[in-house]
A = this chain, B = another copy of it.
């Protein structure tokens, strides 16, 4: 299940954190996604900021000292800790995203990146088994 592979040392910021500070967090912590949380309840997800969002801010000449809230995605795609990896692969495909926020009991648990799927042979195998299920009989090895 994805809870086993998600990174739990989530890089967080607040909606009011300046865009440039969020870029610094991404660079220093080497992550592609920063999770915005409610300052008063830091396991409550209120948005996400991806590298792409920062690139867009540069492209559209945004003030990089303005609150990150202005460029964040508010409709966050989340998956429960107990979901299987094939479901995550499906979500990555469907939404064209590279990171998904993982929740446990509705609260922030971690972040699963598309790279985590490629990195873990065990995950690849799990995904593969799922897909082999759906292939025509006779096609599987």
B128 with A118: CB separation less than 8 A: no
Interface string of A1-39 (1 = CB under 8 A from B): 000000000000000000110011011100010000000
Interface string of A73-89 (1 = CB under 8 A from B): 00000000000000001
* Residues in B whose Cβ lies below 8 Å from that of A117: 118
- Interface segment, one of A40-48, A55-63, A102-110: A55-63
Give the CA-CA distance A32 to B20 in the complex, in Å: 19
A118 with B132: CB separation less than 8 A: no
| A contact patch SS | helix
A118's contact among B55, B93, B129, by CB below 8 Å, is which?
B93
A59 with B26: CB separation less than 8 A: yes
* Residues in B whose Cβ lies below 8 Å from that of A58: 19-20, 23, 54, 57-58, 64
Given contacts A27-B55, A92-B115, contact A132 B141 (CB under 8 A): yes
* Residues in B whose Cβ lies below 8 Å from that of A56: 23, 27
A118 with B141: CB separation less than 8 A: no
Cβ distance A55 to chain B, nearest Cβ, rounded Å: 5
Q: Which residue of B lies closest to A64 (CB)?
A: B58
A to B CB contacts below 8 Å, 20 in the list = A20-B59, A23-B58, A23-B59, A26-B55, A27-B59, A51-B51, A51-B54, A54-B55, A54-B58, A55-B55, A96-B115, A98-B114, A114-B114, A121-B134, A124-B124, A124-B131, A125-B135, A128-B128, A132-B141, A141-B141
